[in-house]
Amino acid sequence: MDENEKYRELFFEETDEHLENLNDGVLELENDPENMNTIDSIFRSAHTLKGMAATMGYETMAKLTHKMENIFEFFKNQTVKVDTDSISLIFDCLDELSEIVESLRDETDFDSSKVTELITRLEAVGGSVSEEPLNQVEEATSDELAFPSTLLSEEDIHLMDELDNTEYTSYGISIRLDKDCTLKGPRVFLIMEKLSEVGEVTFSFPDTETLEQGEFEQDFHVLLVSENTADEIKENILTNSDIEMVNVISGEAIFEEEETIIVETKVEQQETDTKEKKKKVTKHEQQTIKVDLAKLDTFMNLVSELVVYRTRLENISQNDSKNDIKEPLTEVARITSELQDLVLKIRMQQVSVVMNRFPRVVRDLAKDLNKEMTLIIEGEDTELDRTVVSELSEPLVHLIRNSADHGIEAPERRKELGKPVEGEIKLTAFQQGNRVIITVSDDGKGLNPEVIKESAERKGIDTEGLSDKEILHLIFHPGFSTAKEITNVSGRGVGMDVVHSKITNLGGTIDLHSKVDVGSTFTINLPLTLSIIQSLMVKVSGEVFALPQGAIEKVVEVTNQEIIQVHLQEVYKYQGMAIPVIRLQEVLGLEPAKEFNSNPHLIIVLLGKKYYALMVDELIGQQEIVIKKLGQELRHLKKYLGATILGNGDITLILDTNVICSEESVSSI
């Protein structure tokens, strides 16, 4: 990867974070227009974003961000009022900035006319209020930024002496970057490119690699050999942004202590007392590092293989009479477990990364649909494998848009029903065993099975014999919609099938409960991780299967007499409840065991609020397994999460208890 591509990736990572912070901050500002801390925060994000765009040479983006930054400055000075119109304009700018970033990421063109229109609107908000140029600097004298002459080697000094009788001059150049310059590496790279146009850099402190990695504070120094004058070199350097101060002196002056140093200093944008106030504000931030996901995947694959070989060693140890292998095996087991826990934690990410985007979505939907609604988020600190988190945005957006458009009623209708005028959409997440449950619910009009049934029949879908629950699930059918009108929000028959497909591909399930005039709840059930899990190995009809331990509550050995028949369903009495018994041999379509088992085992699992009893012939024991996805040809086998390789080299299928215990599976027994 070349330097430019590396800096582009860093730019996009930082930009995504700042755009998210700006969206969140502007939402907070709309709810609390007098909050100066929020205004300061979004001003700093906009200022940083502007500098980053300018650093990368994305002038259109830098100009739009600069104009938006001015509005935040006007908010701070209270020369412009924070109102619905100004907030909506800022959101329009943020949307356009997101579009620009995506175009830059994909290296495609974007419509600059919209940027021009937004800049015109931004300038109209400020009216006659004066604003500062994008890169204003002024001259000042200072000896604060001195060239470190003591760091020059004898070779450097000898070279400077040799230039005395030539047209070339050596210059000691000291540069201080802005404190809020986030892309220091790319900025230094561009400054070095500019310097190469007017001469040759023969020395730098810190060294070039450290500079291009951005691993320094604010100041750096170079020795330049050039035919140009000091003023020309300064002018060349100051074509870059994010520079607070520049000091250019001749080689002779480097060693003269009383040399007067002329510097270029960027005009401070904020008053000194404001700066002092900011210094007192502290915020606890999580110490994090960015890790390439491909590296994590490789790390996980290595750990997965290590787990397999550890299991094989354990098998060898059990069959070997010698004790020599046991001590190192114990250490391998300990190290592997610690390594596994670590990499799993590294891969985990809070769902807040996705959920925090949705207050803005609901705000815009309320405006577009002329409805009053609020979004309540709970459990945003719940963690999932980052691969799952990255795929959650699209299905959750569809569900929230569905609740806003089809669920929440118009204010007048809510009044008639005796409901609060403001509708409520609730987004929750929580961990349950080795699964994460995410719900999207609303207190709207709910789904009417009769309306769905009529719509399905018009589309030629056979609904005969379907229960109300099965009819409700028809909304996940491709192209299905009950909307009478197509709007910008929904009604085209796409969306819910995408939700179902996405969740299924992630190894999850989606359920729906709805009541007319009360509301609807979509429940998404997802695996906590897609890699290594604890499992219970069982035998059914002579075949070995793995059951994920996350949902297992208890294992009991029973007699056939303890299993009774109630309304054509076998049940087992557990904690005073009659819970359904699922014979895995029948559900999986296996032949009965050759030998009759009078004392089978029941695996009691808890899914949601319901208990189920899975009947198996024999327990083998607990084992840690690596999940391997089934190939495309076997994806239709929904009852299996995947497969794993056992310590003896055998391949075993992993059962999906969520699918097996679904109502469809139980009713088919």
522-548 residues labelled b (16+ CB within 10 A) or e (exposed): bbbbbbbbbbbbebbbbebbebebbbb
Answer whether 184's CB lies under 8 Å from 48's CB.
no
DSSP run (H or E) holding 106: helix 84-106
Among residues 30, 66, 69, 473, the one annotated as catalytic is 69
Answer whether 157's CB lies under 8 Å from 255's CB.
no
The set of residues, in sequence order, having a beta carbon less than 8 Å from that of 490 and lying 6+ positions away, is 401, 402, 405, 406, 481, 483
Using CA atoms, how far apart are residues 539 and 542, in angstroms rounded to an integer? 6
Answer whether 188's CB lies under 8 Å from 214's CB.
yes
> Catalytic annotation on 406?
no
Answer whether 339's CB lies under 8 Å from 301's CB.
no
Q: For residue 285, give the amino acid letter.
A: E
> Catalytic annotation on 131?
no
CB-count exposure of residue 138 (10 Å: 0-12, 13-18, 19+) = exposed
CB-count exposure of residue 403 (10 Å: 0-12, 13-18, 19+) = buried
Using CA atoms, how far apart are residues 225 and 223, in angstroms rounded to an integer? 7
Among residues 18, 23, 30, 47, the one annotated as catalytic is 47
Q: Using alpha carbons, select from 252, 256, 247 the residue that is nearest to residue 219.
A: 247
What DSSP line would sit under 491-511, residue for residue? -SS-SHHHHHHHHHHTT-EEE
> Catalytic annotation on 228?
no
- Integer CA distances (angstroms), 33 to 28, 151, 209, in order: 8, 52, 45
> Alpha-carbon torsion 559, 565, 566, 568, what sign?
positive
Cis amide prior to 206 (ω within 30 degrees): yes
Three-state SS for 250-293 is: EHHHHCCCCCCCEEEEECCCCCHHHHHHHHHCCCCCCCCCCCCH
Among residues 70, 402, 525, 658, the one annotated as catalytic is 402
Query: Which residues is 603 bridged to in the sheet?
Result: 555, 614
Q: Which residues are the active-site residues?
A: 47, 69, 402
